[in-house]
């Protein structure tokens, strides 16, 4: 083969490869963009590990996968304990993808043991110090909400005195959080009867007493179904103080459609009320592996199909 012919053929082959490669890259980008456009009617927020079989162990890769599936928020209870460098990377990635940061937990390391009901100064100091740390974290990841649980009952004190201690502590915490633009969301729980905060109306009363824009309700549908039922009526009663919602079916605390709650109706009710906040997916996966993760996404597509 003459040198001239060889060079012409090599050049054409190179151009063809570049064209094909460019087309493949463009197609991949188009596919990714198309997937990313399939958002939901409400803003559901997965958490770390929920899609690890599909996206790998790296939390940043998991966030990218969540975005590709149409999710536009995340939540991470343990964010306060992550290294600062990773917090910064998470914040940068969320900003790049135009995603919101949902709740993390203001726990001081001993959320279940340090009880604000006691009125003890050492417990209050831990709480306030953690509020200060939380404001700094919120700046890194652009967080607007953080979960607070007041702790256990103090059985040696009357319930009214315990409630007074909790209100005093939350007022002090709210003063710190207001300056940082962060809202604590109080979560009534069903994990154990020893927990002080148990129902939505009790939480409503405390929020009204604290009287701060930085102290609102986290209405976890799973916990409230277990503790009080009457989901839609109780949501309406407490609506003015609800700032954040979490999801989990009962029994089992898995994705919608695996238990007794009619999530399509609940989601439709929240949508019709104009809820624009984050819907935290604080539950496990009903099935293992990639298949279970795809089933979870489908469950949300089905429950979100209420229009």
- From 187, 241, 255, 293, active-site residue: 187
Query: Please, are residues 218 and 186 in contact by the beta-carbon 8 Å criterion?
Result: yes
Peptide bond connecting 4 to the previous residue in cis, omega within 30 degrees of 0:
no
Q: What is the pLDDT of residue 31?
A: 42
Q: Is pLDDT at 218 greater than 50 in this prediction? A: yes
| pLDDT at residue 37, rounded to an integer | 56
CA distance linking residue 108 with residue 127, whole number of Å: 6
| DSSP per-residue letters across 125-167 | HHHHHHHHHHHHHHHHHTB-EEEE---B--TTS-HHHHHHHHH
197, HSE (Cβ side, Cα atoms, 13 Å): 29
For residues 90 and 207, membership in a common domain is answered with yes
- φ, ψ (nearest 5 deg) of residue 146: -145, 135
pLDDT at residue 17, rounded to an integer: 41
Asked whether residue 3 falls in the same domain as residue 118, the answer is no
Residue 167: C-alpha distances to residues 39, 149, 160 (Å): 39, 12, 11
Which region among 27-41, 104-118, 166-180, 262-276 has the lowest average model confidence (pLDDT)? 27-41
Q: Is the pLDDT of residue 125 over 60?
A: yes
Asked if 122 and 247 sit in the same domain, the reply is: yes
Same domain, 158 and 18: no
197 and 87 in a single domain? The answer is yes
pLDDT given at position 24 = 44
What confidence tier does 40 reach under pLDDT thresholds 50, 70, 90? very high
Q: What is the pLDDT of residue 6?
A: 36
What is the predicted pLDDT for the residue at 110?
60
Alpha carbon distance 147, 216 (integer Å): 10
Does pLDDT of 2 surpass 80? no
Amino acid 112: pLDDT:
60
Q: Of 75, 154, 241, 282, which residue is the catalytic one?
A: 282
Range of the domain at 22: 1-37
Q: What is the pLDDT of residue 242?
A: 98
Alpha carbons within 13 angstroms on the beta-carbon side of residue 160 total 0
> Does the pLDDT value for residue 7 go beyond 80?
no
Same domain for 14 and 50: no
Looking at residue 111, its pLDDT comes to 56
Question: pLDDT (tens digit, 9 = 90+) per residue, 77-108?
Answer: 999 999 999 999 999 999 999 999 999 999 86
The answer on 6 and 114 residing in a single domain is: no
279 and 214 assigned to the same domain? yes
Q: CA–CA separation, 136 vs 143, rounded Å? A: 10
The reply to whether 49 and 128 lie within a common domain is yes
Percentage of the residues of the chain whose pLDDT score is greater than 70? 86
Give the pLDDT confidence score for residue 13 in this predicted structure.
Answer: 43
Using the predicted structure, report yes or no on whether residue 122 has a pLDDT greater than 80: yes
Same domain, 204 and 274: yes
CATH of the domain at 292: 3.20.20.150
Identify whether 187 is a catalytic site residue: yes
Q: Are residues 30 and 96 in the same domain?
A: no
Number of domains composing the chain: 2
Which of 48, 224, 80 shows the shortest CA–CA distance to 146? 80
Q: Distance (Å, rounded) from C-alpha 307 to C-alpha 304? A: 8
Mean pLDDT of 143-163: 96
d(CA 227, CA 225) in angstroms, rounded, equals: 6
pLDDT above 90 covers a percentage of the chain that reads 85
Task: Tell whether 171 and 264 lie within a shared domain.
Answer: yes
Q: What average pLDDT does range 113-119 have in this prediction?
A: 86
Q: Say what the pLDDT of residue 30 is.
A: 43
pLDDT at 262 over 50: yes
pLDDT in the model for residue 107: 82
Q: How many residues does the chain have?
A: 307
pLDDT tens digit sequence for 156-203? 999 999 999 999 999 999 999 999 999 999 999 999 999 999 999 999
Q: CA 102, CA 98: separation in Å to the nearest integer?
A: 13
Question: Does residue 29 surpass a pLDDT of 50?
Answer: no
């Amino acid at each position: 083969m003459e040198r001239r012919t060889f060079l012409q053929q090599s050049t054409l082959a190179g151009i063809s490869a570049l064209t094909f490669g460019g087309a493949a890259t463009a197609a991949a980008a188009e596919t990714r963009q198309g997937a990313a456009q399939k958002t939901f009617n409400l803003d559901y927020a997965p958490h770390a590990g929920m899609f690890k079989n599909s996206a790998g162990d790296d939390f940043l890769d998991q966030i990218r996968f969540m975005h590709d599936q149409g999710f536009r928020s995340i939540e991470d209870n343990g964010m306060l304990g992550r290294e600062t460098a990773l917090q910064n990377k998470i914040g940068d990635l969320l900003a790049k993808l135009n995603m919101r940061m949902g709740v993390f937990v203001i726990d001081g390391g001993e959320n279940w043991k340090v009880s604000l009901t006691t009125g003890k100064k050492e417990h209050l100091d831990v709480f306030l110090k953690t509020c200060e740390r939380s404001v700094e974290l919120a700046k890194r990841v652009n967080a607007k909400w953080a979960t607070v649980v007041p702790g256990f009952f103090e059985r040696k004190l009357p319930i009214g005195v315990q409630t007074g201690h909790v209100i005093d502590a939350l007022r002090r915490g709210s003063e710190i959080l207001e300056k940082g633009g962060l809202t604590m969301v109080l979560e009534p729980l069903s994990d154990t009867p020893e927990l002080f905060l148990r129902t939505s109306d009790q939480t409503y009363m405390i929020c009204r007493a604290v009287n701060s824009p930085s102290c609102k309700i986290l209405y976890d549908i799973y916990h409230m179904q277990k503790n009080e039922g009457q989901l839609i009526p109780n949501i309406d009663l407490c609506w003015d103080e609800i700032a954040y919602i979490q999801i989990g079916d009962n029994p089992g605390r898995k994705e919608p459609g695996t238990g007794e709650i009619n999530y399509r109706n609940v989601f439709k009710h929240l949508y019709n009320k104009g809820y624009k906040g984050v819907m935290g997916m604080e539950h496990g996966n009903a099935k293992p592996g990639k298949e279970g993760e795809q089933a979870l996404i489908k469950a949300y597509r089905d429950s979100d199909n209420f229009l």
